[in-house]
Amino acid sequence: MTSSLKSTLGAQVREIRRGRGLTQEALAEQLEVTPRYLAGVERGERNLTLDSVDALAQQLGVDAAALLLAQG
């Protein structure tokens, strides 16, 4: 079963957040988004544009491709 890009992106963001020891609220504040929006991203419910993915990656300090590639 393959996961959608939205699910992969969400899982990667969650992994980065947890790896940094941050709550959703803390990361949302750093990213200047609401915790509800970040939770939607992590659950794969948000359909981000490529520009949004690029901006999110830049804010997280990672390569955009790393957010879209499943770790295996």
Contacts of 44 (CB under 8 A, 6+ apart): 3, 4, 6, 7, 8, 9, 10, 11
Cβ count near 3 (within 10 Å) = 12
Domain parsing of the chain, residue ranges: 5-61
Comparing C-alpha atoms, which of 22, 9, 20, 27 is closest to residue 71? 9
Asked if 31 contacts 59 with a C-beta cutoff of 8 angstroms, the reply is: yes
Question: What pLDDT, in 10s, does the model give residues 4-62?
Answer: 999 999 999 999 999 999 999 999 999 999 999 999 999 999 999 999 999 999 999 99
**Does the global pTM surpass 0.75?**
yes
DSSP 71: P
Q: Which CATH number fits domain 5-61: 3.40.718.10, 3.20.20.140, 3.30.450.40, 1.10.260.40?
A: 1.10.260.40
